[in-house]
């Protein structure tokens, strides 16, 4: 959800029409953050009656021309396997066909790579490109050392995905003091608003905390902007959250 929040915020900062779908209904941080600033819905795509995916289809249709960031919950793999073919066909048959990207958040453990490998084999063909996001929170936030991600960096899957217009992003960690204030359920707001001393006043960030947030936002914007220019921008994006996170 943290990556989805940052992605939606950066896309909005750059002037795009952005909407969010929060399929993590048990902890809907993404839709909560953007409730007042962009179109959003919450829906359970794992529901047995299939209503969740129908909600997604209707939302996409109603927001033609938007970039849609969809945050998915842990344990979504079975639903993706069973429903992605139908969903991808629906998107391709719209008046303006919708392109999908998969943003896969990676930790440093074996199961991150193994689960991505299974996902890639099962439904990777439905995505125009795959972005693997190595969350440097798991590497103590050290932007200069990607060593803890050696399992991914040495994986043949990485080379295969990047040959097909994919990319690896090393997502910087944000200081815990800032995170604690940002995610107060009563005060949560987009990062780009929180960094403003006037708009984000209710968060009561100290000068150093606001500076840390400002530097982090600059790093994230640079990473995402350069990555999104690799190939055409998608009109639909999805993030997969690894269970072990």
Per-residue pLDDT of the chain (245 residues; tens, 9 = 90+): 999 999 999 999 998 899 999 999 888 999 999 999 999 999 999 877 778 999 999 999 999 999 999 999 888 888 888 899 999 999 999 888 899 999 999 888 888 899 999 999 999 999 999 999 998 876 554 455 566 888 999 999 999 999 988 999 999 989 989 999 998 888 899 999 999 999 999 999 999 999 999 999 999 999 998 887 665 444 344 544 333 33
111 vs 119: CA distance, rounded Å:
12
Token readout for 234 is 């998608």
Cβ(70)–Cβ(56) under 8 Å?
Answer: yes
Cβ(223)–Cβ(85) under 8 Å?
Answer: no
């Amino acid at each position: 959800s943290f990556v989805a929040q940052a992605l939606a915020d950066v896309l909005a900062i750059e002037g795009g029409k952005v909407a969010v779908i929060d399929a993590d209904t048990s902890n809907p941080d993404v839709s909560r953050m953007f409730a007042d600033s962009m179109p959003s819905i919450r829906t359970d795509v794992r529901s047995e009656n299939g209503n969740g995916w129908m909600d997604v289809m209707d939302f996409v249709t109603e927001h033609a021309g938007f970039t849609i960031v969809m945050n998915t919950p842990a344990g979504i793999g079975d639903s993706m396997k069973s429903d992605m073919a139908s969903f991808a066909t629906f998107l391709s048959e719209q008046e303006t066909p919708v392109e999908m990207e998969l943003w896969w958040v990676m930790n440093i453990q074996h199961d991150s790579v193994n689960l991505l490998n299974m996902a890639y084999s099962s439904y990777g063909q439905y995505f125009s490109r795959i972005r693997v996001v190595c969350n440097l929170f798991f590497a103590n936030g050290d932007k200069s050392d990607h060593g803890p991600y050696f399992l991914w960096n040495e994986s043949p899957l990485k080379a295969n995905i990047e040959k097909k217009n994919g990319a690896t992003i090393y997502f910087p960690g944000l200081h815990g003091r800032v995170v604690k204030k940002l995610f107060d359920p009563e005060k949560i707001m987009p990062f780009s608003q929180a960094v403003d001393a006037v708009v984000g006043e209710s968060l009561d960030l100290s000068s150093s905390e606001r500076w840390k947030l400002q530097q982090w936002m600059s790093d994230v914007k640079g990473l995402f902007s350069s990555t999104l220019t690799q190939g055409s921008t998608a009109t639909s994006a999805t993030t997969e959250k690894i269970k072990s996170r």
